[in-house]
Amino acid sequence: MSTHRFAESINTRKGQIWSIDYVIGMLLFLLAIIIGLKMFLNTYGNQEFEILQGNAERMSDLLMSEGYPNDWDNETLFQIGLTTGSNINITKLRYLYNMDPNRARSHLKTRNNYYLFFQSQGQGFLYFNGSCGYGDEGIIGEGGVQYYDIAYYFSNIGGDTYIRDYLGDNYNVDYYFRDGSEGMVVDAYTINGSLYNLTNKLDYYETIILEDPGFDLFSGDRPLTEISYLLEEWLSKGKLLIITGKVGLGLFALANFPVTEDGAGNITIQNEHVDIPFEEGDGLIFTDKYTITPQTEIEGYTMLGNYSNDQIGMATWNYGEGKIFYYGDSEADYGNGDYSNISEQINHTLSRVAVGYCKDLNIDDTEADNFVKIERYVVLNNKITKLGLFVWE
């Protein structure tokens, strides 16, 4: 009887030992699987990130190139590139910012989400074409308020000026008038100085507005020939110039701006433009009726509107990398849509074309498995600027 119980005890212990060994073995097996799976996932995740990073670096290399052809436009584009020589070409940048991001995605040879931005030291993120960047901005949230550094020159002090009253709080505006005007206060606007003072500070501004400048009557410390040279040099660097009314001086690839009011009747919009919120056939009532001669041989020239006697009263064209908008009058009524007059429309054009800055970019709500940020330093508008590229999946 005792022998039988002893045998049962031994068998029970053997079963317990085997069960413990089995459990330990299974635990070790499962642990090995978990460790192996984790190593696999880490390796796979690292590979995915490395692939995304390589793709982002390749995209930034393309953006830093001249593209193909090296003077590409919307019609000839094969490969996107934003530089000419060692500088960012503003004309190419405008083409890109007006392009459907999906079309750009194919030319950048990527399927990933992306967002391009430029950051200027001490000023913020470049605000251009109504945005703080370009790409999948529905996913990248934007924050902050844009602002512009604008020089505003006018000759009709004591008379009516129009555009300045429609420049809102988003603009940092310096006002210029005649010699000896520095410090004057006109309608609550403090004058920063004369045209001479303005030409000494040109590189400070991205945009200049010349409202009815009347250069044919100008007298000052700097010859007009020198002033015109300095303005043309400034504009060619990718700046924006808006001119209204009487100019009276050959400037910006034009042999002459007429000094007489040759227009008759009202303005009719003949050609629509992406930066002008008018439609073909719209009418505007100009008080002054200054004109320019047709300039069809000039790059980027578009006749926007003419008077009833076919004289041209609204036009735009390029000068170097810069852009000009001309209006025969700044006091013009327009009864349709959101813009009651030409000054409100010019404000709209500024928001589309002028270079400003955003204070911040908000990416907190971006949902991504992998996220890469590439930064390169470039020259934009003669300033060292950071080109940034977010790429994610």
Instruction: Express each pLDDT in 23-77 by its tens digit.
Output: 677 777 777 777 766 665 555 556 888 888 899 999 999 999 999 999 898 889 9
Segment 232-250 mean pLDDT: 82
Asked if residues 126 and 357 have their Cβ atoms less than 8 Å apart, the reply is yes
Number of domains in the chain: 1
Number of Cβ within a 10 Å radius of residue 162:
22
When comparing pLDDT for 5 and 343, which is higher? 343
Residue 250 has a pLDDT of: 57
Question: What amino acid is encoded at 8 in this protein?
Answer: E
Is residue 122 in a domain?
Answer: no
Percent share of the chain, pLDDT over 90: 10
Residue 103 has a pLDDT of: 92
Q: Which of 58, 113, 67 is nearest to 88 (CA)?
A: 67
Question: What amino acid is encoded at 100 in this protein?
Answer: D
What is the H or E stretch that residue 221 is in? Answer: none
Residue 124 has a pLDDT of: 81
Residue 290 has a pLDDT of: 83
What is the DSSP secondary-structure string of 14-48? HHHHHHHHHHHHHHHHHHHHHHHHHHHHHHHHHHH
| CATH number of 320's domain | 3.40.50.880
What is the H or E stretch that residue 74 is in? Answer: none
Residue 376 banded pLDDT, cuts 50, 70, 90:
very high
> CA–CA separation, 312 vs 224, rounded Å?
25
Is residue 117 in a domain?
Answer: no
Alpha helices in the chain (DSSP H): 2-63, 90-97, 101-107, 195-199, 224-235, 342-353
Segment 97-109 mean pLDDT: 89
Give the residue numbers spanning the domain of 347.
148-356
Segment 169-178 mean pLDDT: 78
Is residue 107 in a domain?
Answer: no
Percent share of the chain, pLDDT over 70: 74
**Angle, CA 263 vertex, CA 257 and CA 264 arms, to 5°:** 175
Over the chain, what is the mean pLDDT? 78
Segment 203-211 mean pLDDT: 87
> CA–CA separation, 193 vs 212, rounded Å?
17
Residue 57 has a pLDDT of: 93
Res 192 pLDDT > 70: yes
Burial group, residue 186, by CB count within 10 angstroms (0-12, 13-18, 19+): middle
Per-residue pLDDT tens over the stretch 4-27: 554 555 555 555 555 676 667 777
- Structure-token pair, residue 120: 């200027």
Starting at the edge strand that comes first in sequence, how are the strands of the sheet with 332-333 ordered? 185-186, 189-194, 171-177, 148-154, 207-211, 240-244, 322-327, 312-319, 302-306, 267-269, 283-286, 332-333
Residue 387 banded pLDDT, cuts 50, 70, 90:
very high
Is residue 255 in a domain?
Answer: yes
What is the DSSP secondary-structure string of 340-363? SBHHHHHHHHHHHHS-EEESEEE-
- Structure-token pair, residue 151: 């020089």
Segment 64-92 mean pLDDT: 89
Residue 347 banded pLDDT, cuts 50, 70, 90:
confident
The conformation of residue 94, written as its DSSP 8-state character, comes to H
Residue 221 banded pLDDT, cuts 50, 70, 90:
low
Q: How far is CA 92 from CA 65, 303, 340, 390, in A?
A: 11, 22, 32, 20
69 prior amide bond cis, ω within 30: yes
The conformation of residue 273, written as its DSSP 8-state character, comes to B
What is the H or E stretch that residue 238 is in? Answer: none
Res 255 pLDDT > 50: no
Residue 58 has a pLDDT of: 92
Residue 320 has a pLDDT of: 82
Is residue 99 in a domain?
Answer: no
Residue 389 has a pLDDT of: 92
Contacts 24+ apart (CB under 8 A), 86-89: 86/379, 87/378, 87/379, 87/380, 88/118, 88/378, 88/379, 88/380, 88/385, 88/387, 89/238, 89/321
> CA–CA separation, 55 vs 108, rounded Å?
10
Is residue 185 in a domain?
Answer: yes
Is residue 336 in a domain?
Answer: yes
